[in-house]
Amino acid sequence: MHPAVVTAVLLLVGTTITVADQEGDEGIEDLCSVTPVLCKECHWVAFGRSSVCMRYFETPKTFRDAQAHCHSLQSELVSIHNDQDMLNVKYMSYYFTSGFERRAYWIGGKRSGGGFIYTDGTRFNYNKWLPNQPDNYRGQEGCVESNALKWGMWNDANCSLKKDFVCAKRQ
């Protein structure tokens, strides 16, 4: 068999085993139903007929620094308003990380008063909180991360922690 074919098969098997071994990754098969479309700018993708382009950054930053990085690209940290949005962001977090590993990443949610808001000004009208979250542990968790302990689920976290992040902007 040709060495390139053997390498491709081994990578596919390794990726499949890695994905199957990740605890709490139910719903990963749903990612096969997502079809990304390249946006006008390199490295940004949209899904379906959406006019929102997203980009996953595998460069851990604090929430504030991640937000500033998005702003430097005329974008915002991603806001998620329904199950389809969540599936699209899960796709970004899976396919655009080295080794297809699950990592916690910032989305645009942050604590404000007794609730949460999105940094882009849209309503915080959807959530995927882990059980018993948000808990504002020790009064120090003001920002929202996804993929904390379970695939695609949310947790409130300390904003000074460094995490990957997803930016979004209109085409």
The answer to whether 92 and 151 have CB atoms below 8 angstroms apart is no
How far apart CA 128 and CA 24 sit, in angstroms, is: 14
pLDDT at 42: 81
| Count of other CB atoms within 10 angstroms of residue 129 | 15
130-135 mean pLDDT: 95
pLDDT at 164: 96
Greater model confidence, 166 or 15: 166
CA dihedral (76, 142, 113, 77) in degrees, to 10, reads: 10
Task: Encode pLDDT of 63-106 as tens digits.
Answer: 999 999 999 999 999 999 999 999 999 888 888 887 777 789 99
pLDDT at 28: 59
Angle, vertex CA 68, rays to CA 66 and CA 72, nearest 5? 115
pLDDT higher than threshold 50 for residue 53: yes
3-class secondary-structure state, position 127: coil
